[in-house]
Structure 1
């Protein structure tokens, strides 16, 4: 295992070179074997746990590593902070997978840097385990996401409201370039660094846009880059809405231009359907509620556009005229992608205009009746069969629709829509709707039991059992039913908190 350092080559204005802080007694708690194999890491948790604990706690440097804390800015809940940066994270370098794709290797909770802002640079065990659970569950659900390679206990206490066991989590991402990274240089009017960053981002994420080596970055390339970034974000938010994910802190510094989900601090999963659902304790105005996520992503893309204007044309009005249509197109592209996705959740392979009403009416019923979002689609699929469809369609219509239950009315319309290929509809629903999601009450219970068990005897069997299920969310396993139930209180008083 040897790291390269592509981001490091951009220059010192992009980061602070800094070393992770060694920890007292590193112990490897979680190791993502399949991901390690994909990254061509030959070590195993069984044979090399002590060495892996040293490497992925920051106590020992991996060969070739030049650790840095990346610089970035960000709009946090709409308010701009010109200097944020990695205050408790170290980018160790990058590794190539079997397909030749490079991945960043970053430690979180590995000590302070220039950007720490009086923080201690550490991470408690609970947030580290949460990031592992959520990122690997999201990956299995088919959502674009950063991933976790390891969680290492530090043997040291972290002090928040009380003393907590500390940990370091290793995050893997195609890059850690954020909208806030562009804002950092834009706020300083550092056009040369903006050009270097954009060229690097194109080479890393959109090589099809790369020009001839040695040629200067063109305005057309920058416009195409912006369009490509937008397309990634549309796909990302549609994926979130498919599984009921609420990010909770969609700041521009948490918006990766790769279109990967990043930062699993105050995130949560929706239970009964409502577009205004929000759980984050720091989102006091519901800015990042479930149904707002597409609008916020479009707003974040507008902030990226602000940064790119001087790279497109010296005349800001001309540059704006080239990006404005792409920002406006975001709405149409998202709407199209969203309704295609929702149609697929109902087993409809080819979207028609009338399907919009069918989908919206279902969501209205779900909100009114407080139906569970995930369970509803699984139940529809489980009860779907040709005989049931034929039976309902054969029933005579009631003249007075008020006498019919809204649900029965909707069900008959849906059956009419999919009657031509019931088996095909059921198969499509099985691929689109997970049987299990990382439900909030189960995640919290697992985190509580795992932290207690770790401190008592190091037993993480509950956590590993849960991971085994959420890492196969479309397969009915023996233990799947243990984690499918909705919370008895509907998560009415549930709140998530930032892991820092």
Structure 2
């Protein structure tokens, strides 16, 4: 079937590549039917990117298919099994407790994209949960994933939001239920390998690793041929590089994932599972929003360390593949794992430092410039400045769009502010290329927590999606804000501040 035929009403989701994996890594199970499915939002821009028409997705057949009201005889929908360390504690079986992998759609550049339903009913991995999602949780993931995409950070996306017509019990009250139609390059996680290792041993890990190489890391096999390198070491290193770059990108825009458990870490370097995540308002390096992160394990400044820790857990499953004699002597395999982990550290440090220099418009490598860069974030923290507003104001000064007055107003100590700005001018690159790079690194708009919460409240309590639509449209291009969206740049008033975020499951 030609899925790029924009006039076709055929179902474009006609593949299920995960069937190539060993049976023990998934359970075939159809979504659970709902009473009155309806299409709340269809992501037209995402479909355009994939080269697909909206026709089938807006048809009765498409809506029923995406809501769980279909026989699925040919699609083989499944729930994926995975384990995971949750806040450092190992759980041997987690898995998709409220999600169903429908399969893959083929884009106009011959890429296969996962299509998964979240909130589509119970599965063998539900562990007592109802398998459903609230409208609020789906809205949050839609807005955060659109914000990520607008910031050019690799991410899963929301293709559609479906209303189920059913109510869901949460916090002792009945609230509207919904289904998220999520797309991703892959849904394989660190926890997938932990599960494969526990259930099937080295053979399961090998099958999963070979699947990743075939579908998502084709350069690894070529690397093996050219460098005579163990391809599984090469795969592990490639995963480390992608993860290091991803976390650096998060941190450079003040993003805090909130639940970096090993089952929430994609192995293709995409942001996945937006639960109690948040973008910082005022900058604090140890900032935490998640209500369940009581020990600050996943604070902003801990994310790179946790990425490393998660990759160590992944390495433990890879060890039998690194050396044929692992069962007799594990030392060599452990030694082989160290080099990719060291690469992770180097790549993250370089990506974060380069990104910070780009945000500040500093390209010089002098001691004075290096000292200035290293002191920049402590300065922002010491002044309790809004992270996004500060770098946006800095960029507008560099662009010549406004005077230094607004930038200076962000400092509580005006004399200190004048000194800092003067020092910045002394080390910054005045070239147009550097100024352009600053804007590319400094969004004017983020998904503000209080605005996301307000959009959820409006939709859940008043069936009002006006703010949701404004945000989802504005976040597509966070570097340029139209006049009628200036209010979306505002930091929260004291009474609007969101101090805790919740998973919403």
Same fold (TM over 0.5): yes
Please name the residue that 2:415 is paired with. Answer: 405
Please name the residue that 2:480 is paired with. Answer: 475
Report 1:436-447 matches (<5 A).
436-447=445-456
C-alpha distance in structure 2 between counterparts of 1:327 and 1:387, whole Å = 43
| Pairing 1:324–2:338 present | yes
Please name the residue that 1:201 is paired with. Answer: 212
SS in structure 1 of the partner of residue 398 of structure 2: coil
Please name the residue that 2:462 is paired with. Answer: 453
Please name the residue that 2:299 is paired with. Answer: 289
Per the TM alignment, residue 62 of structure 1 is displaced from its structure 2 partner at its CA by 6.3
Per the TM alignment, residue 430 of structure 1 is displaced from its structure 2 partner at its CA by 1.3
| Pairing 1:244–2:254 present | yes
Change beyond 3 A, Cα 1:115–1:404: closer
SS in structure 2 of the partner of residue 479 of structure 1: helix
Residue-by-residue CA offset, 1:252-287 (whole Å, 9 max, x unaligned) = 000000010000111011011111110000000000
SS in structure 1 of the partner of residue 259 of structure 2: coil
Residue-by-residue CA offset, 1:113-158 (whole Å, 9 max, x unaligned) = 1100010000011001111111011101111100110000000000
C-alpha distance in structure 2 between counterparts of 1:36 and 1:430, whole Å = 27
C-alpha distance in structure 1 between counterparts of 2:47 and 2:90, whole Å = 37
Please name the residue that 1:11 is paired with. Answer: 22
Please name the residue that 2:9 is paired with. Answer: none
Change beyond 3 A, Cα 1:353–1:238: farther
Residue pair 1:358, 1:410 contacting (<8 A) in 2 also: no
What is the total number of aligned residue pairs between the two structures?
A: 479
C-alpha distance in structure 1 between counterparts of 2:69 and 2:188, whole Å = 25
Residue pair 1:340, 1:351 contacting (<8 A) in 2 also: no
Per the TM alignment, residue 493 of structure 1 is displaced from its structure 2 partner at its CA by 5.5
Residue pair 1:339, 1:356 contacting (<8 A) in 2 also: no
| Pairing 1:498–2:503 present | yes
Report 1:59-458 matches (<5 A).
59-60=69-70, 64-161=74-171, 162-188=173-199, 190-210=201-221, 220-313=230-323, 314=326, 315-349=329-363, 354-384=368-398, 405-418=415-428, 420-421=430-431, 423-454=432-463
Which segment is superposed worse, 88-97 or 460-469? 460-469
Change beyond 3 A, Cα 1:70–1:286: same
SS in structure 2 of the partner of residue 438 of structure 1: coil
Per the TM alignment, residue 28 of structure 1 is displaced from its structure 2 partner at its CA by 0.4
Please name the residue that 2:5 is paired with. Answer: none
Change beyond 3 A, Cα 1:353–1:334: farther
RMSD: 2.4
TM-score, structure 2 normalization? 0.90
Change beyond 3 A, Cα 1:388–1:284: closer
> Following TM superposition, where does structure 1 have runs of at least 4 consecutive aligned residues deviating by more than 6 angstroms?
386-390
Please name the residue that 1:394 is paired with. Answer: none
Change beyond 3 A, Cα 1:297–1:378: same
Residue pair 2:103, 2:114 contacting (<8 A) in 1 also: yes
Residue pair 1:2, 1:64 contacting (<8 A) in 2 also: no
Which segment is superposed worse, 358-367 or 490-499? 490-499
Per the TM alignment, residue 11 of structure 1 is displaced from its structure 2 partner at its CA by 2.7
C-alpha distance in structure 1 between counterparts of 2:392 and 2:134, whole Å = 36
TM-score, structure 1 normalization? 0.91
C-alpha distance in structure 1 between counterparts of 2:163 and 2:111, whole Å = 29
Per the TM alignment, residue 349 of structure 1 is displaced from its structure 2 partner at its CA by 4.4
C-alpha distance in structure 1 between counterparts of 2:401 and 2:164, whole Å = 59
SS in structure 1 of the partner of residue 53 of structure 2: coil
